[in-house]
Structure 1
Amino acid sequence: MTKLRNLAFRQDYDCSRLPENIAAEKCLTQGEYAACDVSDPRWQRHLSKVDRKFAFHFDRAKSIRSIKLRFFQGIEYAVYYPEFVTIYVSDNGEDWSSLARIHTRIPLYDEAESVQTYQWDGKTDGVPGEPQADMVYTRHVRIDVPVDVWVFMDSIELWGTDEKAETAVVLSGLFTEAAGPAMRGYHAAGESSGGVHNMVLLYNGYSKHDDKGDRVPWSREQLLPFVAYTDSAGRIKDWMFDSVLLLELWAPNGNSFIDHGTPADVNDWRWYLEHTFCRGSMLDMINDHVSHSAEQLQNEDYRMKAVLMIPYPSDRQAAFGKLAEDGEMMNFDHRSIDPMEAYRHKCTVIDWYIHEALSRWEAAGYSHLELAGFYWMNENVNHKSPGEQDLIRYAGSVVHELGLKYYWIPYFEAPGFWRWKELGFDAAILQPNYFFGDSDAGRIKAAADWAALYGMGVEIEVNESALKGEHAYNKYADYLEGGAKYGYNSRVLKGYYQDRLTFYHASLAQEGLGYDLYHKTYQFIKGARKK
């Protein structure tokens, strides 16, 4: 057999997106290896934006025995190995057949800086569906590399021969996959979203801080404008949001239900359950408002959908506490105990929490609320946490066993956002993160494009600054106008982040920015906003 050579050496190739360091654009086929050092300029650097597709196009078909890619990991710098790379081949450059998916052998949470080679070897790995073959005969090779945060790579090698080898086969037919995700369109509200269409986020721990910095509980009056569309005199005119997501970031002691600050413990999780389901709670008040509004609007069968949060079991919590007096101490910290034990403890706590929340919901017997499902609080996939993706899927499996839906609202281009379905979610809503940053209105289109591409809903974002100044108000208006421009205004699943009281205060205004904001939001919800 002819000696194998690197067919990619100094060969031109296409990449779906330029690297951050443009000078290294064509470095992957120059035969140079970078050092295990984040500062080495020979590393080609890619930042988020879902994935990179590298494609080689030869004038004539080649016999390929082995394909190699080399990556660097240094999680201190947010540089991670791709969880896997996928290799495709094609005769025509349009119809692609899957050759191999190669997974990382080094965990993404490994804190040591390292270099790893991902390799498909026809001799040892074989060719799919061709037990006698150890090479593929093809003109086109494409390699898809998922990029969640930073990915550093220095080389792609295709080892083979120019002529057709006896053990080389053309791969086609059975394993054909599309060159990329088809344009699925936005997530349409309906059965797949548990009936959720326009869902407002309400932080039910407290409504605001007073002048002394103390928490002020929600009042019954504050909640009506979220349930029903009211005029400035508080008269009920129509329904407003059809669904509510109850969540909270902080326990009263300042501990966190997300992966920031001091992580919450079992007493904080219990406090949240008690607070959510106690007499006179937000759920009680919302239920009363829905019941009263249903009578006023002569729609007695109406039920508002509710979604409940699942607090995030942070790796930084080494002493979560016991679920029972004689129970085991739960520890989520994989650095202090075996990672699999930490993972088991997280699963145990999540299972307990979901079942406890459901038990309390059923005991409450809300007459005009329907539990749609549960919401995963962390807004990205945390690669530093062992078994994070399995944990997300486990929580989803518990929710699904109870016949409920599983929701997620990742931030813009969050690690793993585009794999929401694979992670077990029934519905995901993408945050544009436009209102709070310095990005221009192009961010709305970018978020809409991602949401449409990956079958997601869109989040609408605002806070009280939009009631006080035209710059912030106009940014909010961009979201509403974007619905008509980019097609997410009608039957598309949407979430509404409004801090805590923005829509309530807007509903009280008799003129000006607040008046416009509340009433235009109502028009948007009803699909009346036009381009």
Structure 2
Amino acid sequence: MTNTNLISGLCPTVTTGEPIAYSFALKDRSDENLPSLAGGRAASESVGDPGWVRFYRGRARELVYDLGEVRKIGGFSAAFLQNGAAGVYTPRRVELLISADGVTYRRAFAVDSKVSPAAKDVSVSVFEAAGGQAFSARYVRFDFECEVHVFASGFAVYPAAEDAVPAAGSALEPPKPDLGYLRAGDTAKNGVIIYCGYWDETMKYPESYVLNTPADLMPYVAYVDRDGKIADTMYDSVYFLSLQSRTPSGGYMCAMHNVEKPNTYRSDWLQFLDNMFAEGYNIDALNTAAGSVKEALGLTDYKVGVHIQLPFPHPSGEDFGGGMRTDTLENRVAVCRWFMEEAVRRFDERNYEHIRLCSFYQGCESVPTAVSDEEEALFAAVNCEAHAMGLKASWIPCYLGTGFARWKELGFDAAYMQPNHMFNKYDAAMLGEFAQSCTRYGLGVELELNYTAVNPGENRDSEIERYYDYLRGGYYYGYIGCDTATYQGAGPGYIYTACYAEDPAVRAIYDNTYLFLKGTLMPGVPRVAATRFERQTDGSYRAALSLEGGSEIFGHDTTFEIVTQGTRGAAVVHDGELIYVPGYTFTGYDKLSVTAVIHGVATEVRTLTLNDVAHFAVQRGIRELNALCDKPKSRAWMTGLSVASAAASLLLLVSGRKNDKHR
């Protein structure tokens, strides 16, 4: 094999493992220097080295190089950076695939990493495969995972000897069929997150944030109408999570790998249990609230599901307490088993009538591979412990978080992915991409409501619309009716705030969420509505367009389109207004038709009539124009000229309005 690089100077075509054009691609910097990826040497250990091509999330990358002609391939090399403190991780495996047509690929080489994602030292790893078999291909494709940041450089593909006999390569696994949205049902159909846990005087929120009363929880288990009455059920399950993962010792209930002392102790875990099972609060309060709903609605077989967060056992050589340690995988699993058994014991002792324990919830929002190489094994082992107790295991990973696609292999019974749209300035179209990933892997959907949508602020209306993106997306992308979880803050949360809001716009959040959870939030069949045409001083006519009927929240995604133009003028829709410019043959009367398009679906066509005959009857010019058009040939000629001149006038008019906006 020679040192000739067959891809030197070529720029690859890049495909992400999951669609991210409207989300993470906005933070991906690979386009800045992608042509240099196959430019030569590996970059240095510095994250600031301009030689690194920076990829960001998307689960994986496929980089295809077109060699221009069929060549014999003898090996490859590729360099990657490991810098866990900066969130940059070396892929666990790099593969080189070959193809004759750029469509069908076979595996030629596969090289596993010698560096763990948990490695603390900064290093550059070079994946190399050379010698042995040769392969024939015009197209070569590099495949590697990209679950957070991946920095790559020094890509090369080397030719094989001229007399080498090409091998066929190994066949790829056939793509798995999409699993559709999660519809587990028995784990949780529609759950909501409620926070509890540790509090002290140094925190910026009151103690009530971790002490939820029956009244606090009522608008979650019941749909409370605008008269304050229990009208229906709302969420069927509650996830009790540790607020901000805080503990008395200063450690964290979730995985932290860039913190000096993240580990917790038995006393921290006991405090979490004591708070969850405090008399009159949290789980106890949920039972009381559920009982009230059961009685008010006359339900006989009604119980609300309970899901308890499983604290994270950080690896530590310190004594955990109670004769336990967290220094090995086996010991960490044993600590989790103790907690789960203690939670089940306390739950059973209370003999709750109106709630049932459903699952233990994994509090980490992604598999914390930066902590150790045992984290996937830990997840799988503790989920097996839950199953041995007759319970389920649940998880809500962040958007494309590490391990999200492997949730079933990790032993979870239900997983709901966070879109994180509420907290980013992404276009709502990202929910379509999010939906594709959910259906591919059988995930449920998390709804996310932020305080910015329910509290006064200059951006409140736009934040309400951002939340409604989730609800509209359920209809557009088909996840209405699938299993969901809802994040909505703490104290007890923003769904509570919306329920009791005096502002109708905020209260509507609660009502529309209820309709979504019940699977009945639909746009209906809205119709185009229009005001009367008003004559303007510039000679044009204008009418405001709107929708009538259907759910109000779907109006946000509406555009109006002209189906047929009038015969004596030209019209255009601009900023929700229909603007009509009459032509030479206009006599005060014309017809045109419009439709409303809601997310690509058109409503029925509405014919609009412009009638200003009375005004034109008193215009001297109209008589002269009619006289000129008496002859059929003249009339046809003038009609064509009329429409053309109106269209030209309309273009100038709309252009002028646009320019006015920028002055």
- For the aligned residues, what is the CA RMSD? 3.2
CA–CA distance in structure 2, aligned partners of residues 319 and 234 of structure 1: 52
Residues 216, 496 of structure 2: 8 Å contact kept: yes
After the TM superposition, which of the residue ranges 196-205 and 244-253 deviates more from structure 2?
244-253
- The answer as to whether partners of 2:177 and 2:440 remain within 8 angstroms in 1 is yes
| Paired residue secondary structure (1:293) | helix
**1:356 matched residue in structure 2:** 342
Residue 375 of structure 1 aligns with an amino acid whose one-letter code is Y
Match of 1:15 in 2: 14
Q: Does 1:380 align with 2:374?
A: no
Shift in alpha-carbon separation, 1:465–1:257, aligned structure 2, 3 A: same
Given candidates 223, 227, 230, the residue that maps to 1:229 is 223
SS at match of 1:515: helix
AA partner of residue 505 (structure 2): L
1:407 aligns with 2:405: no
> What is the aligned counterpart of 2:84 among 53, 75, 80?
75
For residue 61 of structure 1, report the CA deviation from its aligned partner.
4.2
8 Å CA contact retained: 2:214, 2:288:
no
- Pairing of 1:240-255 with structure 2 (within 5 A): 240-249=234-243, 250-251=246-247, 255=251
- Determine the C-alpha separation between the residues in 1 that align with 2:161 and 2:200: 70
User: How far 1:401 sits from its partner (Å)?
Assistant: 3.1
Alignment partner, residue 654 of structure 2? none
- Please report how far the alpha carbon of residue 160 of structure 1 lies from its aligned counterpart in structure 2 after TM superposition: 3.3
Deviations 1:451-499 (A, max 9, x none): 3444322211124442333333333222222222232222x22111111
Query: For the residues of structure 2 that align with 1:78 and 1:30, how far apart are their CA atoms?
Result: 25
Q: 2:471 is matched with which residue: 475, 480, 485?
A: 480
1:384 and 1:212 mapped to 2: Cα distance? 30
Look up the match of 2:123. 114
Q: Distance in 1 between matches of 2:506 and 2:45?
A: 55
Greater relative contact order structure (CA < 8 Å, 6+ sep): 1
Counterpart of 2:422 in 1: which secondary structure? coil
1:47 offset after TM fit, Å?
1.6
Per-residue displacement from partner, 1:342-376 (whole Å, max 9, x unpaired)?
44442221222223223333333333333321111
What is the alpha-carbon distance in structure 2 between the residues aligned to residue 80 and residue 87 of structure 1? 19
CA drift of 1:525 comes to 0.7
1:302/1:368 contact within 8 Å kept: yes
Q: For the residues of structure 1 that align with 2:202 and 2:497, how far apart are their CA atoms?
A: 16
Pair 1:496-2:486 in alignment: yes
Kindly state the Cα deviation for residue 7 of structure 1 after the two structures are TM-superposed.
3.3
CA–CA distance in 2 between the matches of 1:211 and 1:33?
47
Range that drifts further, 153-162 or 44-53: 153-162
1:213 CA drift (Å) = 5.5
Post-superposition shift, 1:110?
2.0
Q: Which residue of structure 2 aligns with residue 529 of structure 1? A: 521
How far residue 241 of structure 1 moved from its aligned partner, in angstroms, is 0.5
Map residues 397-476 of structure 1 onto 2, 5 A cutoff. Answer: 397-469=384-456, 470-471=460-461, 472-476=463-467
Q: Which residue of 1 aligns with 2:135?
A: 136
Task: Please report the TM-score for the alignment, with normalisation by the length of structure 2.
Answer: 0.68
Partner SS state of residue 45, structure 1: strand
Q: Which amino acid aligns with 2:282?
A: M
1:513 matched to 2:513? The reply is: no
Query: CA separation of 1:204/1:388 partners in 2, compared to 1, >3 Å: closer, same or farther?
Result: same
**Secondary structure, counterpart of 2:495 in structure 1:** helix
Contact 1:227 / 1:290 at 8 angstroms: preserved in 2? yes
- Per the alignment, residue 200 of structure 1 pairs with 192
Is the 8 Å Cα contact of residues 95 and 176 (structure 1) preserved in structure 2? no
Report SS of the residue matched to 1:372.
Answer: strand
SS in 1 for 2:423: coil
CA distance in 2, matches of 1:428, 1:447: 14
Q: Which position in structure 1 is the counterpart of 2:174?
A: 177
CA contact (8 A) 1:264 1:320 kept: no
Residues 21 and 60 (structure 1), Cα distance of their counterparts in 2 relative to 1, 3 Å cut: closer
Q: Secondary structure of 2:342's partner? A: helix
State the SS of the aligned residue for 2:218.
helix
Separation (CA, whole Å) in 2 of partners of 1:355 and 1:148: 34
CA contact (8 A) 2:10 2:35 kept: no
SS of the aligned residue for 2:314 comes to coil
Instruction: Determine if contact 1:62/1:164 at 8 Å carries over to the other structure.
Output: no
Change (3 A) 1:363 1:24: same
Contact 2:255 2:364 in 1 (8 A): yes
Map 1:14-33; keep pairs closer than 5 Å: 14-16=13-15, 20-33=29-42
| Among candidates 332, 339, 346, match of residue 332 of structure 2 | 346
Provide Cα deviations, 1:394-420, integer angstroms capped at 9, x if missing partner: 222322333433222122343443443
Would you say the 8 A contact 1:56–1:142 is kept in 2? yes
In 2, are the aligned partners of 1:411 and 1:433 still within 8 Å (CA)?
yes
Indicate how the Cα distance of structure 1 residues 529 and 358 shifts in structure 2: closer, same or farther if over 3 A, else same. Answer: same
Q: Structure 2: where are the runs of 5+ without partners?
A: 17-24, 524-663
1:369 equivalent to 2:355? Answer yes
Residues 345 and 41 (structure 1), Cα distance of their counterparts in 2 relative to 1, 3 Å cut: same
Secondary structure in 2 matching 1:177: coil
| 8 A Cα contact 2:249 2:264, kept in partner | no
Change (3 A) 1:455 1:74: same
Q: Which residue of 2 aligns with 1:151?
A: 150
Does the 8 Å contact 1:98/1:177 carry over to 2? Answer: no
> TM-score scaled by structure 1?
0.83
Equivalents in 2 of 1:64, 1:507: separation in Å? Answer: 65
In structure 2, C-alpha distance between the alignment counterparts of 1:319 and 1:270, rounded to whole Å: 17
2: CA distance, partners of 1:77 / 1:106: 16
Give the secondary-structure state (helix, strand or coil) at the position aligned to 2:520: coil
Cα distance in structure 2, aligned partners of 1:211 and 1:145: 43
Distance of aligned partners of 1:122 and 1:416 in 2 relative to their CA distance in 1, 3 Å threshold: farther
- Mark the CA change 1:65 to 1:222 in structure 2 (over 3 Å): closer, same or farther: same
**Aligned equivalent of 1:336:** none
Superposition deviation, residue 234 in structure 1: 3.6
Rounded to whole Å, the distance in 1 between the matches of 2:151 and 2:225 is 55
Aligned to 1:268: 268
Cα deviation for residue 279 of structure 1 reads 4.1
Query: Following the alignment from structure 1 to structure 2, what is the Cα–Cα distance between the partners of residues 403 and 97?
Result: 43
Once the 2 structures are TM-superposed, how far is the Cα of residue 60 of structure 1 from its aligned partner? Answer: 4.8
SS in 2 for 1:435: helix
Q: Structure 2 vs 1, CA of residues 84 and 351 (structure 1 numbering), >3 Å: closer, same or farther?
A: farther
